[in-house]
């Protein structure tokens, strides 16, 4: 849980923990669905082009959703009160952009079903940084330490099992399995490290909706640079491909879906910490498996051994994530994290009372007035999606429409639960 919670009652701590858990699980559902459009990489687009299109959708969504929920004036106020966090937000966006590009390579080379569990080892990286930099698990109870150790071992074992499953003698092994595995693990390293800026922002009291707004410039600038320097510069195919409009909608949609999941993931990180929040959101591995296997039939031609290895590795990894996430912080651990909060306040000359007050403010403030600029942002983003949607065509990729409907219903139900949890927390 958060280090700020030792100033609250046990009832408050339980409410914050419950909200964090719901947000983490909701994040898993949406983050799992967001990577499905990257299957379009098999339709002839380069991984750099796919990433740029997705991040463009991310950019539109990261501005639109905070504007709807808070308004740009409140977002700007949050950023101006803590200007030093803007640099951290840009850095986090840069790491996100590179990691996202690596995931596209991984999906191309080893498939969505295999790539997801491998890059979800970012929970190990996040757990390490949470312990070293933010005092998470310091002075934790023996039971909590045991859960974290067992969960960590389970996640590493599952990642290894899933990695070897791609090289097993199945019917159509990938010729670039090693390359795909390395790309997924590289994404894991970057995404695990990316949570350092996240956590610094939230222990300083910044609202996640404000942080992700600054985050967008780092990610869009970085992915554009990747296309420019590694995919042909001004001659890059993404800038000259004729008839690309019918694919852009799906990639923009993938970016939009990712943002919804990422916002809930950030709320989970705020209320549970890195070591507990990331494993919960990493249940996206289960949903990535569902999209890859059920919708796109990635296991249709796999051998029985491959299927057993993939399913067993997935279940082991989820079990490890659950073990870590259920290690609820004790009062002694809260006190240790409070020391880290005081250190951050001393480092950046912050008033700890103001930080605690900012932390307890409602996440959504619908009472604030919306400016003409706010409505213009929402209208522009909506117009872009409508324009692309009118030109979209169903990609020529085999998929199960029935399973798409089932998984979309689950997505809508989960986001409803997440919004309910945050609203209830804000109104209590």
Using DSSP, state whether 289 is helix, strand or coil: helix
Using DSSP, state whether 121 is helix, strand or coil: coil
- The confidence score (pLDDT) of residue 406 equals 94
- pTM of the predicted structure, to 2 decimals: 0.79
Tell me the HSE value of 80 on the side-chain side, using a 13 A CA sphere.
6
Other Cβ atoms less than 10 A from the Cβ of 380: the count is: 13
Instruction: Please report, for residues 153, 154, 306, 332, the alpha-carbon distance to residue 303 in angstroms, rounded to integers and kept in the order given.
Output: 27, 24, 5, 50
Tokens of 43: 């339709």
Kindly tell me the burial class for residue 405, based on how many C-beta atoms sit within 10 Å of its own C-beta (0-12, 13-18, 19 or more). exposed
DSSP letter (8 states) at residue 293: I
Q: Output the DSSP codes for 46-104.
A: -HHHHHHHHHHHHHHHHHHHHHHHT-HHHHHHHHHHTTHHHHHHHHHHHHHHHHHHHHH
Please check whether residue 104 is in contact with residue 219, taking contact to mean a CB–CB distance below 8 angstroms.
no
What stretches in the chain show pLDDT beneath 70?
A: 1-14, 38-45, 112-113, 159-160, 162-175, 240-245, 359-368, 395, 426-428
- The confidence score (pLDDT) of residue 410 equals 95
Please check whether residue 189 is in contact with residue 126, taking contact to mean a CB–CB distance below 8 angstroms.
no
- The confidence score (pLDDT) of residue 317 equals 78
- The confidence score (pLDDT) of residue 174 equals 59
Tokens of 128: 């390490």
- Identify which of 128, 183, 177 has the alpha carbon closest to the alpha carbon of residue 155: 128
User: Which stretches within 166-239 are classed as H helix?
Assistant: 177-203, 208-230
The domains of the chain are located at: 3-241+248-386
Q: Output the DSSP codes for 41-52.
A: GGGT--HHHHHH
Using DSSP, state whether 303 is helix, strand or coil: coil
- pLDDT tens readout for residues 296-350: 887 777 778 877 887 888 888 788 878 877 777 777 777 777 777 788 788 777 7
- The confidence score (pLDDT) of residue 414 equals 95
Using DSSP, state whether 253 is helix, strand or coil: helix
Please check whether residue 374 is in contact with residue 72, taking contact to mean a CB–CB distance below 8 angstroms.
yes
């Amino acid at each position: 849980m958060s280090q700020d919670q030792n100033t609250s009652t046990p009832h408050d701590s339980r409410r914050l923990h419950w909200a964090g858990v719901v947000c983490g699980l909701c994040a898993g559902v949406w983050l799992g669905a967001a990577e499905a459009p990257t299957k379009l990489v098999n339709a002839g687009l380069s991984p750099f082009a796919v990433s740029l299109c997705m991040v463009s959708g991310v950019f539109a969504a990261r501005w639109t959703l905070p504007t709807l929920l808070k308004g740009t004036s409140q977002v700007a106020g949050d950023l101006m009160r803590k200007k030093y966090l803007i640099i951290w937000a840009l850095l986090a966006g840069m790491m996100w952009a590179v990691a996202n590009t690596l995931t596209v390579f991984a999906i191309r080379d080893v498939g969505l079903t295999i790539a997801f569990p491998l890059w979800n080892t970012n929970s190990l990286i996040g757990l390490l940084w949470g312990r070293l930099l933010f005092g998470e698990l310091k002075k934790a109870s023996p039971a909590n330490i045991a859960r974290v150790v067992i969960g960590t071992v389970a996640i590493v074992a599952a990642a290894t099992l899933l990695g070897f499953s791609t090289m097993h003698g199945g019917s159509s092994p990938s010729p670039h399995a090693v390359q795909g595995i390395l790309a997924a693990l590289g994404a894991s390293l970057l995404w695990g490290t990316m949570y350092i800026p996240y956590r610094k922002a939230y222990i300083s009291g910044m609202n996640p909706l404000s942080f992700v707004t600054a985050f967008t410039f780092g990610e869009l600038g970085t992915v554009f640079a990747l296309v420019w320097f590694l995919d042909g510069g001004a001659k890059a195919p993404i800038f000259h491909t004729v008839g690309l409009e019918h694919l852009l909608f799906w990639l923009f949609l993938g970016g939009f879906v990712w943002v919804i999941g990422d916002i809930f993931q950030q709320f989970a990180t705020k209320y549970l910490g890195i070591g507990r929040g990331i494993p919960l959101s990493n249940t996206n591995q289960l949903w990535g498996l569902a999209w890859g296997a059920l919708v796109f039939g990635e296991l249709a031609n796999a051998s029985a051994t491959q299927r057993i290895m993939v399913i067993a590795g997935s279940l082991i990894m989820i079990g490890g994530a659950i073990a870590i996430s259920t290690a609820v912080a004790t009062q002694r651990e809260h006190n240790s994290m409070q020391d880290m909060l005081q250190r951050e306040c001393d480092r950046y000359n912050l008033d700890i009372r103001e930080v605690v007050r900012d932390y307890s403010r409602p996440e959504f403030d619908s009472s604030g007035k919306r400016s003409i600029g706010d409505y213009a942002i929402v209208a522009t983003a909506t117009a872009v999606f409508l324009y692309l949607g009118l030109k979209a065509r169903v990609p020529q990729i085999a998929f199960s429409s029935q399973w798409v409907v089932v998984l979309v219903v689950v997505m809508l139900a989960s986001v409803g639960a997440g919004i309910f949890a945050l609203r209830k927390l804000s109104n209590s």
